Amino acid sequence: MNVAIDSMTCPKANVLNTDHLEMCVRTAVEKSWASVAPCWPLQHFIAANPLAGFEHLSFDQALQQGQAYFCQKDLPTAMHAVNRESIKWLKAFFDVGQSTLAMPLRHQGLLPCMMQLMCYDKYLNRHKDQIEFWLQKDHKNPESLIVCMLLYLGVAETEQKAFLTLMLATLPGWSAYVKYQTDWADKQISVVTPSEYFAFRLLITCLLWPEAKQLLDWHQQALKNNEATKTLTQLKDNERAHQKKLLEKLAMAESTTKPDLLPEVQMVFCIDVRSEPFRRAIESQGNYETFGFAGFFGVSIAISNTILGKSHASCPVLLKPSHQVTDKPNGVRDNFTKDQQRSKSLKLIYQSLNYTFSTPFSLAEIMGVAYGAWMGLKSLMPRMFAYTKARICAHRYQHHELVTDCADIPLEQQIELASNALKLMGLTERFSPLVVLCAHASSTQNNAFASALDCGACGGNPGAPNARVLTTILNHKEVRNALNRQDICIPDSTLFVAAEHNTTTDAVDIFSQSIPETWQSVLSSLEQNLLKAKERNARWRMSQIKTNVITNNPIQHTILRSEDWAQVRPEWGLARNASMIIGPRSLTKGSNLEGRSFLHSYDWSTDFEGKHLHTIMTAPMIVAQWINAQYLFSTLDNVAFGSGSKITHNVVGKLGVMQGNASDLMHGLPLQSVFQDDKSPFHQPVRLTVVIYAPKERIVTIIEQEALLNQLISNAWIHIICFDSSTHQPWQLNRGFIWQKID
Amino acid sequence: MIAFVSFIGASVGSFAFRHLEGDRKRSTFMLNLFALLFSVTVLACSDHLLLFLAFWIASNVCISRLMLHKNEWPAARASADLALKYHLAGSTLLACAFALSFILTGETSINLLLQSPIAPIWQSIISLMLLLAAMMQSGLWPFHRWLISSLNAPTPASALMHAGVVNAGGFLLIRFSPLLLQSTLVLSIILISGMVSVLLGTFWKLMQHDVKRMLACSTMAQMGFMIAECGLGLFSLALSHLCWHGVFKAYLFLSSNAAAQEKRYDLNHVTSIRQWPSALLAGCCGAYTFSLVSFQPILASDTTLFLAVITTITGTQLALTLPQHNPIRQFSIACLSTLAMGIMYGLSMRMIDVMVADLALSQPQPINLLHHISLVVITLSWLVAQLGKNLMSNNPPTWYLKAYVYMLNASQPHPHTVTTHRNHYQY
């Protein structure tokens, strides 16, 4: 080993050469990182396409590449040790709140911290001289370190990109998390750069496996051996069947002329596929009109909670929050604040006794009785526990409401938000007396992936605050006056109200505290009908879950699933999503789309320049594609792209899960989210089919303007079908952007 | 004991039944679970040496079957094998100890055997063999490797292991307490081996980054505490710790998936010197209540002093955590909470104490030098943790970095039980 180091010409010697080499490395680093897709932490789990780095390839090529990079049965033997040590240090470094004694020196960043600690690691410093050699290097400049290490490993300049990509692909979960840290996370907290990560990974590789160049041969072998044709055929069959059925349903739609009767209530739901069956259920109860709109209601806000002292961004990850709002109790008989404060101090006491020396022993004995009773109740009598809890909460928090204070948003911006939102959802005339903006959230217990079931448009959070902000704005007198000048006349008899749809229990909570008398009768009949819709939808949803829970009451069944701490399938989430429909509700009204479609309202006839369609296709449609791809790949290979069975999950660093003792960070959805049982998938793997009700030319213009859309469609990552507005005929856009008539 | 085993069994069992919905080997899992509960129950009631040994082995085999649930996953196989290896080594020692005592006394009943006279040297040898068997069973240092490598098991299996199977070590010592009480030297060795795990386990627990290994290291520390209680001659307290810790840990394991949402509060708030006297007073108040409720003397010159010290420390810690606004109001709140704590602690201990009163398990030992040292260690480790927390975060000295890396490596699972290649995982 010694000889190897001595004989190696260190690039530092040649100054001219150094710059050139570092440049090359910088390019290689950048290119190899492009093949990795980010993975969001569990606090706000966002669906992402795990093969997003291969979207520049056609779908079948990407599938093959993905298989060669991520689905290999085995690794070269020596690589296991490299991964083991990488995992050990990465989870220590990125931990955001599990350990009480945190890793020292973390604030200095990954590489400086590791360089100082690694020399004491007995698994790494077996060759003392070697580690000293690397530590002499300047760790302020990771690129020069990478140059040295690649030379040491004997990786030629032409192979650099391939080799670095393999360094990422052999530990895909952690690479994805680092990608999140470097590209998406709040920059103030971020402590790692792409080059630093490579330097870290290569350092361990140099110390444990100097012959790591063999990885390149291993990968060549993998490229030869793979076949993805079977998966692809299956996928295409599924898609064709789904499209055929969908188009048949759309063809049967009623004529697009609007009914004369003004709807009693208009409700705006999230585009989420879970809204579709619920919209159908509520529409069937009376003269209600529904709309589909991104669940953050066009307002990108950061919400701070005064009681818990937390703050989070509530908008799609593609946007940055533009406004700050606070969530505070409205002060009417507020048990909630007190309860939250009380529970906070109890938790604080518990934690201070548990996470120190000597006191945990008596804590275990003090708490033993209580925990025993609690465990018995939750496990042995889950029904009783669920109902009692639901009843107590309903009673105790009856009068509680969090009020979202949006006074900080300037009036002009309020007006802009309001007019954009209304135009985008196609609600600019014929306002009902009551317009409900209905956000959604989920309620599950003991579920590491809880945020995956919340509103994706709100960054994996409940959407109620956004709905509240927009209703406050729309009820604002001055805003309405200004809208009036833009030809959007909201009559005084119209009131906007916020609500939240609980997708786990199907309950809809209308935030109706300050509603004047005039609207009470409409509201109470709406509430009645929402209860009926809840039962209807719950019955349908529960029929989809294979179970041995015996109950005839679907509502009780959903509550049980929501409150049971042993439950691994509280709800199906967005499983089985397959298509997105951009068009008026009249196109889909009355047809049972089986909760498989994202529905976005759009009226081409009022969108003269195609501006709104442009927004829809570049924002909600992209998000739908991310979600679709996440479910697709998690189902195709739940180990490589999903996170495996929940029963052996181990939450690491409060940011992700591992399998068992230690493993790669398991990004992607758990087995139970997409499979009915170990063998049979519930989600049907298909690529997203987008049906747009608009003139063909307009769609193509937008696609040609946007490079991202261009890439997605020409590489067949999504299918675009135009439902021609004049002839009512479906046309499919092929990969060369030519419309083909579908029979 | 049977009631305790069946309660935990039923709770974890019904949790597992729903948690494993859709799992293709759910019925096998449930069968193994019942087999485990059956063998533990028989073990708890058996008096015959052979029966005890047979069901000791049976329950260990059952738990390794449960760990093997995902048997196509190499890391899970490695974990189960590792656990079984340690347990079989322990069982062999146990078998030797039993054989030896049978040869010496000719008795096959444990109760009769404990009444028969055995030469002191043999007594010590048998005791030490039992201690080693118990340490392997309970995952005490230096036999802890299997315990912190056991997390490839499904969550309910881990819950059962930490609530039940590891406790068998403590149960063994309690069962043979009359024998162990014969020699002060043996008791001292037991105390030392317990204390080592208390310190290591707690330290490791505080530095872990994933929830399950943190719980496993915590179990190691708690087991150390239980064994240390045995070494103090306080066997009924060890039994009480065994039961309550079992329930506590089972709950924590079952709810471990919620760790992602748990918000950790800042525990590093600086406590001013002024708070300490009142907090200490409140702690003493808690300890006094505890001694009243649990009928333990407060200031004894025997090993029950340990309890008073631990309770005082807990009470003080509790009082220090309470929000500080108004000193007088705070003091009264602190006293009230420590009072409540003392009552709860006392009651839970008293409950077990009353149940096993006839057996006269506990024999507090007169205080000796070793006990003093242990008391100092317990108090000091807490004080250092309480006061020294902030010192290390900004500019840690080299020795601390070395110690950190050393401890991090020491608390790693066995290399074969780590899933180093993602696709080696199989469901």
Res A6 pLDDT > 50: no
User: Given B148, B267, B424, which is nearest A351 (Cβ)?
Assistant: B267
Task: Measure in Å the smallest separation between the Cα of B293 and chain A Cα atoms.
Answer: 13
Residue of chain B nearest A91, judged by CA positions: B209
Chain A CB contacts of B349 under 8 Å are 365
Q: Return the closest-CA partner of residue B251 out of B320, B330, B158.
A: B158
Cis amide leading into A321 (omega within 30): no
Task: Measure in Å the smallest separation between the Cα of B54 and chain A Cα atoms.
Answer: 30
pLDDT mean over A534-561:
83
Positive/negative CA dihedral, A671, A675, A681, A685: negative
Neighbours of B54 (CB within 10 A): 16
Residue of chain B nearest A356, judged by CA positions: B385
**Which of A328-337, A640-649, B356-365 has the least mean pLDDT?**
A328-337
Domain ranges of chain A: 2-33+72-225, 232-257+574-743, 264-330+401-573
Residue of chain B nearest A170, judged by CA positions: B421
Record: contact A660-B420, CB cut-off 8 A: no
CA-angle at B401, arms to B395 and B404, nearest 5°: 125
Range of the domain at B332: 275-387
Round to whole Å and give the CA distance between B276 and B263. 27
Record: contact B257-A87, CB cut-off 8 A: no
Q: What is the pLDDT of residue A4?
A: 42
pLDDT tens per residue across span A55-64: 999 998 999 8
Neighbours of A377 (CB within 10 A): 15
pLDDT mean over B20-44:
92
Record: contact B222-A446, CB cut-off 8 A: no
Residue of chain A nearest B242, judged by CA positions: A365
Q: What is the DSSP letter of A694?
A: S
Mention every residue, 6+ apart, whose C-beta is less than 8 A from residue A597. A246, A273, A276, A577, A578, A579, A580, A581, A588
Record: contact B423-A639, CB cut-off 8 A: yes
pLDDT tens per residue across span A277-309: 999 999 999 899 999 999 899 888 888 877 667
Round to whole Å and give the CA distance between A560 and B420. 38
Residue B297: pLDDT band (50, 70, 90) is confident
Round to whole Å and give the CA distance between A126 and A128. 6
Record: contact A117-B404, CB cut-off 8 A: yes
Res B325 pLDDT > 80: no
Does B283 lie in the same domain as B198?
Answer: no
Mention every residue, 6+ apart, whose C-beta is less than 8 A from residue A149. A134, A199, A202, A203, A205, A206
Res B349 pLDDT > 90: no
Q: Are B390 and B269 in contact, with CB atoms under 8 Å apart?
A: no
Best of B15, B257, B261 to mutate (most A CBs within 10 Å, chain A): B257
Residue of chain B nearest A108, judged by CA positions: B394
Record: contact A379-B11, CB cut-off 8 A: yes
Round to whole Å and give the CA distance between B108 and A181. 65
Chain A CB contacts of B269 under 8 Å are none
Does B51 lie in the same domain as B11?
Answer: yes
CA-angle at A575, arms to A573 and A578, nearest 5°: 130
Res A690 pLDDT > 90: yes
Does B375 lie in the same domain as B238?
Answer: no
Round to whole Å and give the CA distance between A528 and B342. 51
Chain A CB contacts of B247 under 8 Å are 368-369, 371-372, 375
Q: Return the closest-CA partner of residue A51 out of A68, A66, A71.
A: A66
User: Given B203, B210, B251, which is nearest A375 (Cβ)?
Assistant: B251
Record: contact B259-A347, CB cut-off 8 A: no
Phi, psi dihedrals of residue A79, rounded to the nearest 5°: -70, -25
Q: What is the pLDDT of residue A732?
A: 92
Structural domain includes residue B423 = no
Does B370 lie in the same domain as B283?
Answer: yes
User: Given A99, A658, A662, which is nearest B206 (Cβ)?
Assistant: A99
Does B326 lie in the same domain as B209?
Answer: no
Residue of chain A nearest B287, judged by CA positions: A362
User: Given B7, B152, B386, which is nearest A660 (Cβ)?
Assistant: B152
pLDDT tens per residue across span B158-215: 999 998 889 999 999 999 999 999 889 999 999 999 999 999 999 999 999 999 999 9
User: In a 10 Å sphere around its CB, with 0-12 CB exposed, 13-18 middle and 19+ buried, how is residue A7 labelled?
Assistant: exposed
Q: Are A560 and A382 in contact, with CB atoms under 8 Å apart?
A: yes
Structural domain includes residue B412 = no
The rounded percent of chain B whose pLDDT value lies above 70 is 95
pLDDT mean over B9-35:
92
Task: Measure in Å the smallest separation between the Cα of B273 and chain A Cα atoms.
Answer: 18
Beta-sheet strand order (sheet of A288-293): A288-293, A265-270, A434-441, A495-502, A508-510
Q: Return the closest-CA partner of residue B289 out of B256, B325, B247, B334.
A: B334
Residue A1: pLDDT band (50, 70, 90) is very low
Residue A141: pLDDT band (50, 70, 90) is confident
Q: H or E segment at A556?
A: helix A554-563
Q: What is the pLDDT of residue A148?
A: 87
Q: H or E segment at A422?
A: helix A411-425
Task: Measure in Å the smallest separation between the Cα of A438 and chain B Cα atoms.
Answer: 25
Record: contact A660-B75, CB cut-off 8 A: yes
Q: What is the pLDDT of residue A332?
A: 54
Q: What is the pLDDT of residue A8?
A: 44
Record: contact B24-A100, CB cut-off 8 A: no
pLDDT mean over B388-406:
79
Q: Are B147 and B139 in contact, with CB atoms under 8 Å apart?
A: yes
Chain B CB contacts of A565 under 8 Å are 15, 254-255, 258
Query: Encoding tokens for residue A701?
Result: 């213009």
Estimate to the nearest angstrom the gap between the alpha carbon of B353 and the chain centroid. Answer: 18
Round to whole Å and give the CA distance between A432 and A508. 19
Structural domain includes residue B26 = yes
Record: contact A361-B426, CB cut-off 8 A: no
Does B287 lie in the same domain as B227?
Answer: no
Mean pLDDT of chain B: 88
pLDDT tens per residue across span A73-91: 889 999 999 999 999 999 9
Structural domain includes residue B290 = yes
Res B387 pLDDT > 90: no
pTM as predicted: 0.93
Task: Measure in Å the smallest separation between the Cα of B366 and chain A Cα atoms.
Answer: 22
Record: contact A101-B263, CB cut-off 8 A: no
Q: What is the pLDDT of residue A721?
A: 94
User: Given A88, A91, A347, which is nearest B265 (Cβ)?
Assistant: A347
User: In a 10 Å sphere around its CB, with 0-12 CB exposed, 13-18 middle and 19+ buried, how is residue B51 labelled?
Assistant: middle
Res A523 pLDDT > 70: yes
Residue of chain B nearest A674, judged by CA positions: B22
Task: Measure in Å the smallest separation between the Cα of A597 and chain B Cα atoms.
Answer: 26
Q: What is the pLDDT of residue B270?
A: 60
Record: contact A71-B423, CB cut-off 8 A: yes
Chain A CB contacts of B24 under 8 Å are 677-679
Does B235 lie in the same domain as B306?
Answer: no
The strand pairing partners of B302, in sequence order, are B366
Record: contact A88-B408, CB cut-off 8 A: yes
Task: Work out the end-to-end distance of chain A between its first and last CA atoms, rounded to an integer number of angstroms.
Answer: 70
Round to whole Å and give the CA distance between B227 and A147. 55
Chain B CB contacts of A646 under 8 Å are 19, 257
User: Given B218, B323, B409, which is nearest A121 (Cβ)?
Assistant: B409
Q: Are B160 and B69 in contact, with CB atoms under 8 Å apart?
A: no
Task: Measure in Å the smallest separation between the Cα of A561 and chain B Cα atoms.
Answer: 10
Structural domain includes residue B51 = yes
Place of tokens 């310190």: B199
Round to whole Å and give the CA distance between A460 and A315. 9
CA separation (Å) from A365 to A682, A722, B194, B351, B353? Answer: 44, 66, 18, 11, 13
Chain B CB contacts of A353 under 8 Å are 314, 317-318, 321
Query: Encoding tokens for residue A327?
Result: 């969530």
Residue B337: pLDDT band (50, 70, 90) is confident
pLDDT mean over B341-363:
80
3-state secondary structure of A313: strand
Task: Measure in Å the smallest separation between the Cα of A418 and chain B Cα atoms.
Answer: 34
Residue of chain B nearest A653, judged by CA positions: B209
Record: contact A379-B15, CB cut-off 8 A: yes
Q: Are A715 and A709 in contact, with CB atoms under 8 Å apart?
A: no
Record: contact B384-A357, CB cut-off 8 A: yes
pLDDT tens per residue across span A648-676: 999 999 999 999 999 999 999 999 999 99
pLDDT mean over B97-118:
89
Record: contact A565-B255, CB cut-off 8 A: yes
User: Given B20, B264, B321, which is nearest A647 (Cβ)?
Assistant: B20
Does B188 lie in the same domain as B331?
Answer: no
The rounded percent of chain B whose pLDDT value lies above 90 is 52
Does B85 lie in the same domain as B197?
Answer: yes
Neighbours of A453 (CB within 10 A): 24
Residue A138: pLDDT band (50, 70, 90) is low
Tell me which long-range contacts A245-252 makes (C-beta under 8 A, separation of at least 24): A246/A578, A246/A579, A246/A593, A246/A597, A246/A689, A246/A691, A247/A691, A247/A721, A247/A730, A247/A742, A249/A588, A249/A591, A249/A592, A249/A593, A250/A581, A250/A587, A250/A588, A250/A591, A250/A691, A250/A723, A250/A730, A251/A728, A251/A730, A252/A591
Q: What is the pLDDT of residue A580?
A: 95
Neighbours of A693 (CB within 10 A): 23
* Exposure class string for B208-231: b at 16+ Cβ within 10 A, else e: bbbbbbbbbbbbbbbbbbbbbbbb
**Which of A346-355, B86-95, B296-305 has the least mean pLDDT?**
B296-305
Domain tally, chain B: 2
Q: What is the pLDDT of residue A12?
A: 44
Beta-sheet strand order (sheet of A739-741): A597-600, A579-582, A688-692, A718-723, A730-733, A739-741
Structural domain includes residue B401 = no
Q: What is the pLDDT of residue B255?
A: 92
Q: What is the pLDDT of residue A13?
A: 43
Record: contact B267-A362, CB cut-off 8 A: no
pLDDT mean over B229-249:
90
Does B314 lie in the same domain as B177?
Answer: no
Mean pLDDT of chain A: 86
Q: How many residues does the structure list for chain B?
A: 427
Residue of chain A nearest B418, judged by CA positions: A662
pLDDT tens per residue across span A426-451: 888 889 999 999 999 999 999 999 99
pLDDT mean over B65-92:
94
